[in-house]
């Protein structure tokens, strides 16, 4: 089954556009887990168990594991997701981007070591930095396009020509991903929920691509405006929330609180569909 087929399946089965982001910070863990980097797996597995029937995808952010020397816990966590929620795809948020020979190693890391279904990539180094990932049949890759952070303006909103009407950089990335770069049909784009106008623009350029949309929850993006701008029946949107779900409670009820916040967000997204 391809990544896109998995996404469609999870969207229908769980009635969801919500991606549960896994950004574990031991200092924010509750109770007996607090401060213990050796318990990252335990914390995340509880979140996975509590939200598996509410999510279109899980998105572990690799930095939160690597920073704590917890790569083996990430491997174990992906194996746990496979057995608990085999229908929910795993997007490894790694934002890789390097020359082809190095990209090949990053692709092995994402798809063979961790067994992810999709990965996030920076398109900044061009097509040969993306190509190694496309050789993995059925695996997905989301290219950073119009990111959720304010500094995204610095490059992504620059015009590529001097005349009025020349495309902005993020528009050009969307065109490449929708067209000539999409060799395996599994490319998608990252567009921030903090910029719904740009989501609408990306949707117009790339009507058939899945969009990974971080920025609701802790970053304050407008969930309803996001769905209005990006939703299409035939191209999933994957709206990520990490901290707002993971740290919905700092007490021993953290998994129940995470479930309640995930359900609230899933239902808000569903109710905002045009």
Ligand X SMILES: O=c1ccn([C@@H]2O[C@H](COP(=O)(O)O)[C@@H](O)[C@H]2O)c(=O)[nH]1
**Active-site annotation holder among 95, 135, 139, 175:** 95
261 contacts ligand X (rule: CB under 6 A): no
For residue 65, the Cα-to-chain-centroid distance in whole angstroms is 16
21 contacts ligand X (rule: CB under 6 A): yes
Report the C-alpha gap between 90 and 116 in whole angstroms.
Answer: 5
- Evaluate whether 195 touches 164 at the Cβ level (below 8 Å): no
217 contacts ligand X (rule: CB under 6 A): yes
156 contacts ligand X (rule: CB under 6 A): no
Window contacting ligand X (CB under 6 A); options: 40-48, 98-106, 213-221, 260-268: 213-221
- Integer-rounded Cα radius of gyration of the chain: 18
Annotation marks residue 95 as catalytic: yes
186 contacts ligand X (rule: CB under 6 A): no
198 contacts ligand X (rule: CB under 6 A): no
Q: Specify the residue, 184 or 219, whose C-beta has the smaller distance to ligand X.
A: 219
Report the C-alpha gap between 104 and 123 in whole angstroms.
Answer: 15
Q: Specify the residue, 23 or 53, whose C-beta has the smaller distance to ligand X.
A: 23
Report the C-alpha gap between 153 and 170 in whole angstroms.
Answer: 10
Question: According to CB under 6 A, which one of 147, 186, 226, 265 is a site residue for ligand X?
Answer: 147
Element holding 153 (H helix, E strand) = helix 153-156
Beta strands in the chain (DSSP E): 18-22, 57-60, 91-96, 118-121, 140-146, 187-191, 211-214, 237-241
117 contacts ligand X (rule: CB under 6 A): no
Q: Which residues are catalytic?
A: 95
**Residue ranges in contact with ligand X by CB under 6 A:** 21, 23, 61, 93, 147-148, 190, 192, 214-215, 217-219, 240-243
């Amino acid at each position: 089954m391809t990544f896109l087929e998995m996404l469609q399946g999870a969207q229908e089965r769980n009635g969801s556009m919500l991606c549960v982001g896994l950004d574990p910070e031991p200092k924010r863990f509750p109770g007996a887990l607090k401060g213990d980097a050796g318990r990252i797996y335990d914390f995340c597995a509880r979140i996975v168990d509590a939200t598996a029937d509410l999510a279109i995808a899980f998105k572990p952010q690799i930095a939160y594991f690597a920073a704590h020397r917890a790569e083996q816990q990430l491997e174990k966590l992906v194996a746990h997701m496979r057995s608990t929620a085999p229908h929910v795809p795993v997007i490894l948020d790694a934002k890789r981007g390097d020359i082809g020979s190095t990209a090949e190693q990053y692709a092995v890391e994402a798809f063979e070591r961790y067994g992810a279904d999709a990965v996030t990539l920076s398109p900044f180094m061009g097509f040969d930095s993306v190509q190694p990932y496309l050789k993995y049949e059925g695996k997905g890759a989301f290219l950073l396009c119009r990111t959720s952070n304010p500094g995204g303006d610095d490059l992504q909103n620059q015009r590529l020509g001097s005349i009025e009407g020349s495309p902005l950089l993020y528009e050009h990335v969307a065109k490449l991903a929708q067209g000539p770069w999409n060799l395996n049909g599994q490319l998608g784009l990252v567009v921030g929920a903090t910029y719904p106008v740009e989501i609408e623009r990306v949707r117009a350029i790339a009507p058939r691509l899945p969009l990974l949309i971080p920025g609701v929850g802790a970053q304050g993006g407008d969930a309803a405006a996001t769905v209005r701008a990006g939703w299409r029946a035939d191209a999933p949107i994957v709206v990520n929330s990490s901290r707002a779900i993971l740290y919905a409670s700092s007490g021993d009820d953290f998994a129940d609180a995470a479930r309640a916040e995930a359900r609230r967000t899933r239902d808000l997204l569903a109710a905002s569909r045009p």
